[in-house]
Amino acid sequence: VAEVEDMILYPNPARDRVYVRQLPDQQGSLYLFDADGRLLKKRSEVISEAEFDLGNFPAGLYFVEFRSGDGRQIIQGRVVKQ
């Protein structure tokens, strides 16, 4: 389990799905980026938890970023896809 501030990403490393838990109790958006910084997926109106399907992506390092609706809070984490 990898923990960055309030965000927990598991399993890590992941195969098909990564779960994001313990996000702030406020609405925001969750973004998935590849190691080159390209945006791969976005989940809007996220509160406290979400998941991303990594099944169609190659093995490697990915970044998950939460941005609060007001733009004040940004939390980042990393996940490795096997």
Condensed to tens digits (0 to 9), the pLDDT of residues 26-70 reads 788 999 999 999 999 999 988 888 999 999 999 999 999 999 888
Residue 45 CB-density burial (10 A; 0-12 exposed, 13-18 middle, 19+ buried): exposed
pLDDT of residue 48: 80
Maximum Cα–Cα distance for the chain, whole Å? 34
CA 25 – CA 75 distance, rounded (Å): 13
pLDDT value of position 6: 65
Query: 77 versus 47: which is more confidently predicted?
Result: 77
Phi first, then psi: give them for residue 32, nearest 5 degrees.
-120, 125
The encoded tokens of residue 31 equal: 């973004």
